[in-house]
Structure 1
Amino acid sequence: MTDITVPTLGESITEATVGQWLKAEGDAVKKDDVLVELETDKVSVEVSATEDGVLGAITAQPGDTVEIGAVLGRIDGGAGGAKPAEAAPAKQEAKEESKPAAAPAASGGETTDIVVPVMGESVAEGTLSTFLKKPGEAVKKDETIAEIETDKVALEVPAPADGVIAEWTVAEGTSVTPGSVIGRVSASAGAAAAPAASAPAPKAAAPEAASGDRPVAPSVRRISAEAGVDPQNIPGTGRDGRATKADAMAYVNAPKAPAAAAAAPSAPRETGPREERVRMTRLRQTIARRLKEAQDTAAMLTTFNDVDMGAIMDLRKKHQEAFVAKHGIKLGFMSFFVKACVNALKEVPAVNAEIDGQDIIYKNYYDIGVAVGTEKGLVVPVVRDSDDMSLAGIEKAIANLGKKARDGELTIGDMQGGTFTISNGGIYGSLMSTPILNPPQSGVLGMHRIEQRPVVVNGEIKIRPMMYLALSYDHRIVDGKEAVTFLVRVKEALEDPERMLLEV
């Protein structure tokens, strides 16, 4: 007997709502069969069987709230598991005959499932964007055969074994979850012909999905009933377009449009002869959603200052050759900014904190996100434990993360957990801007281009290399005095870098 338990659902998620059971008590199940769907505030999660057997007692019913590790039901294994399968009705036998798994029997070769890899902490689903191999094509173990887009990065799916693509069991554009089977590889070269006939199988599922209403989870049904809305009208981001609890909450809490606007058709407008419509990538959709959430959620305010970059420019010019000779990397501006921000964050900890419900979480570590623009969009990889790193260490870390960003090799782990963000619009020529927060962080510093400007120094007008600095902060947690103090401390550190490095 094996317990069916609630898996780890992601960072900061401690409970879920039981959606629907896809198997009934007494049904025969195989390892990796999806048994039940759980809903969190963010995504739908599938719980699969960990072994072959028979579904025994179901202890958690649809609509129940369960915590991580809670028992949902049990699988009875062993020889007893065969009897329910033999006793299955003719309807079940007909379903088994129609499964695409029959293709390997025709080829005579063993097959290996192609499984969606783990996508990273707190990422529970992605979109299968591209198949790089067609049914019947030969593949080698670990060769990339498909790509999956998550909210943050693109993931490659490797071939699990040498052989031939026997079939794809899902279609491009389908939402998939870690551990789910998306296809099979046949070890026999003779599999090339037979699987090709079963390749259209994923598309055959489309009419079934289109017929009738979408399944509605208990949590969505409850929220819809309380708000007096039709759950079928809620746009879904879950599996097969199903609405999640988060979708329902967003829908009922959204500002209501005027009657005229509500009556307007929801279909996309027609494009003109000189226009082109391109669907946003999953990454771009996430960027748009998160930036809008930051504006809607935080009490965002921006304060400005300027800094004389002359001292740092002189320091770099004086020691650049020796620095490169010793460390193998150039001394840039960003490492000074990271150091200056860390020192300021230690003095003004609210800027390094976040709001969690009615609590404030103060972070006694300094993981600085560095915004990087790529062809696919803005990403924010994180330099971990910046306070323990030298200028050379910071420069190397930033260079490595920048290369991974440009090559599309950033992982979820590279971009999670930042406590504060620095964005450098100056590399594009920006003179001044108001950066947007990266939730749940409470502060982001905007750098800009260095410009020769006349300033008064000791009563004299001089031309100095000046840069505008902008600190956007969440006014719910950071007071104006703290924000100004933080920015002044950054300015002081950059204008006198020797004191910053000596920590005096």
Structure 2
Amino acid sequence: MATELRFPDQLSGVDGIIVTRWLVKVGDTIKPGDVLLEVATDKVDTEVPATVGGTILKLNYSDGELLPADPVLGLVGEAGESAAAAPAAPADVEASREAPSATPVARRMAEELGVSLSSIKGSGLRGQVTKEDVVAHQAAQKSAPAPTAAPAPAAAPAPALDADLRDVASLVVRRLATENHVNLRDVAAGRPLSTLTKYDILSAAASRDAGKPVVVAPRIAPASAAPVSAPSAPPAAAPVAAPPPAAATAPRPASPAAPAPGKLSAGEEFVAHNRMRQIVARNTTQAAFSIPHVTTMWDLNMAAVLEHRKAHKAEFAAAGVNLTVTAYLIQAILAGLKAVPAANSTWTDEGLIIKRTYHIGIAVALPADQHGIGGLIVPVIKNAGDLNLLGVARAVNDVAERARKNQLRADELQGGTFTLTNYGTSGSRFQTPVILNGQAGILGVGAIEKRPVVVSKGSPLEPNVGDYLAFLPMTTLGFSYDHRILDGATADAFCAAVKDALEKWQ
């Protein structure tokens, strides 16, 4: 009997997954653990292994397709077996498809859009409502009352990304727009790009393909809604303000690649944003404009840590672990979070959600390209509070190595409660790190370097004959914290606990 191919547990229930490419085809024989396909989420590109073995009888999705939550990727069974021999759905699932029958993704889309399935005519097997039916129905509803207008001149091409980083559409929306050759600004019609949903893009594409005016997103009257269509499609019904006589208009390029902004001057080169830079831009901009950041600086002596590392590095290496300073920093962060529990929390308007587990993210820089454009990824060490120094060091080695090889799973980039960024590894002495959304703070650590420090045997402020100058391995912490959650006193209490743990390491 055929068996369904499904995602492993770490991807189960994740929304917005897109098939990058299949690595197998119908007729191939697979075993559990073989890589089936590559997928992309908002956070990471990852490989999907098979959870069952057999001969592939059917694949349900194509490269570039947006997947619903918990999709049935395909069917496997015995060689020569019919794909129709798939196991029947559970009774409760069958019951949920009655009156009217609809696919799971169509049902979810209809619920989110507030559309009654009974009002949609299904085109699927035995009249089942599909996602395409929901999109077409919604497009017809939006376009029905649209007034007619005289043809408007074609709009000049707009960049695929908003020049203002505060207005960036989500990855899923941008990817769908590229695949369907839909211009985001035409659909938004003056509305912020960040408010567009994948259903707005699908509706616009359905309207265009049906030869109807592109349906713009609701709530804001269109300011400049030129049609997004093939050359044979009719012009948009929404009025478009005529450009000044001197402003030249250009046809929209057929290629989905982002056009260069305007004409380049001599010595200039346009480099389109890659997906990593788009994700970093969106996340950091959202955090910077939604979280009131304050950064406190603390100097500390790393001599005790360096001496301990020197004494135990060979011992850890014998166990196959590279003992890095990052492992000590994570252990010290845990001491700080236990001293100030609010530093391990999430802000809500009703109150704080204080986390009693410690999932520590570590920022990992990815190699830069020939233009000096790199990337940043933040894998999460789950339940770090349950690990000793050896366990933390082993986890740091593992996630850092796999991050640079693009081998992290989607679940390994989610659920962080606090973040460490060790920018000192690249020589930086001090930065003001940006807090991740949903967290109370992020600790940055600068380069460890010998600095002249006054050591006093008497008063730390008044002149003393016992004072002397020492050259000590010092570093500077940069703790950025959410001022809604922590203030200067509690943030400094956190840093004091981190400093104490590192300077008195035994």
| 1:354 maps to 2:346 | yes
Compute the displacement of 1:402 (Å).
2.1
Compute the displacement of 1:388 (Å).
3.4
User: What does 1:252-331 align with in structure 2 at a 5 Å threshold?
Assistant: 268-270=258-260, 275=269, 277-278=271-272, 280-281=274-275, 284-325=277-318, 327-331=319-323
Change (3 A) 1:231 1:483: same
Q: Distance in 2 between matches of 1:380 and 1:361?
A: 22
Conservation of the 8 A alpha-carbon contact between 2:12 and 2:69: no
Compute the displacement of 1:302 (Å).
1.0
What's the CA shift string for 1:304-341, capped at 9, x where partnerless?
A: 1211212221222234334545x543433122212222
Q: Which residue of 1 aligns with 2:448?
A: 450
Aligned residue type for 2:30: K
Compute the displacement of 1:393 (Å).
1.8
What's the CA shift string for 1:29-48, capped at 9, x where partnerless?
A: xxxxxxxxxxxxxxxxxxxx
Change (3 A) 1:216 1:439: farther
Q: Distance in 2 between matches of 1:231 and 1:152?
A: 25
Compute the displacement of 1:187 (Å).
6.1
- Helix, strand or coil for the counterpart of 2:324? coil
Compute the displacement of 1:147 (Å).
1.3
Change (3 A) 1:251 1:384: farther
Conservation of the 8 A alpha-carbon contact between 1:371 and 1:379: yes
Q: Distance in 2 between matches of 1:386 and 1:292?
A: 28
Q: Which residue of 2 aligns with 1:402?
A: 400
- Helix, strand or coil for the counterpart of 1:340? helix
Choose which of 498, 501, 505 in structure 2 pairs with 1:497. 505
Choose which of 161, 177, 199 in structure 1 pairs with 2:68. 177
What's the CA shift string for 1:125-179, capped at 9, x where partnerless?
A: 21111233467x744345434211112232426496544676x654432211234
What's the CA shift string for 1:462-486, capped at 9, x where partnerless?
A: 2222111100100011111111222
Q: Which residue of 2 aligns with 1:129?
A: 20
Q: Which runs of 5+ in 1 are unaligned?
A: 1-109, 192-204, 218-228, 244-249, 499-504
Change (3 A) 1:334 1:173: same
Conservation of the 8 A alpha-carbon contact between 1:451 and 1:467: yes
Q: Which residue of 1 aligns with 2:86?
A: none
| 1:156 maps to 2:116 | no
Choose which of 485, 495, 500 in structure 1 pairs with 2:493. 485
Choose which of 331, 341, 346 in structure 1 pairs with 2:333. 341
Q: Which structure is higher in strand share?
A: 1
Q: Distance in 1 between matches of 2:273 and 2:428?
A: 28
- Helix, strand or coil for the counterpart of 1:301? strand
Q: Distance in 1 between matches of 2:141 and 2:304?
A: 63
Q: Distance in 2 between matches of 1:408 and 1:216?
A: 43
User: What does 1:140-289 align with in structure 2 at a 5 Å threshold?
Assistant: 140-142=30-32, 143-153=34-44, 154-156=46-48, 158=50, 162-163=54-55, 170-181=61-72, 214=139, 233=189, 236-238=196-198, 241-242=201-202, 268-270=258-260, 275=269, 277-278=271-272, 280-281=274-275, 284-289=277-282
Conservation of the 8 A alpha-carbon contact between 1:216 and 1:242: no
Q: Distance in 2 between matches of 1:429 and 1:121?
A: 40
**Total equivalences in the alignment:** 351
CA-atom RMSD in angstroms = 4.4
Q: Distance in 2 between matches of 1:285 and 1:336?
A: 32
Q: Which residue of 2 aligns with 1:10?
A: none
Choose which of 453, 469, 480 in structure 1 pairs with 2:477. 469
**TM-score for both structures, normalised by structure 1:** 0.58
Conservation of the 8 A alpha-carbon contact between 2:36 and 2:49: yes
Conservation of the 8 A alpha-carbon contact between 1:117 and 1:178: no
Conservation of the 8 A alpha-carbon contact between 1:169 and 1:181: yes
Conservation of the 8 A alpha-carbon contact between 2:2 and 2:81: no
- Helix, strand or coil for the counterpart of 2:11? coil
Q: Distance in 2 between matches of 1:190 and 1:482?
A: 66
Q: Distance in 1 between matches of 2:345 and 2:326?
A: 22
Aligned residue type for 2:495: L
- Helix, strand or coil for the counterpart of 1:175? coil
Q: Which residue of 1 aligns with 2:436?
A: 438
Compute the displacement of 1:113 (Å).
6.2
Q: What's the % identity of the aligned pairs? A: 30
**TM-score for both structures, normalised by structure 2:** 0.58
Change (3 A) 1:210 1:331: closer
Q: Which residue of 1 aligns with 2:356?
A: 364
- Helix, strand or coil for the counterpart of 1:490? helix
Change (3 A) 1:279 1:305: closer
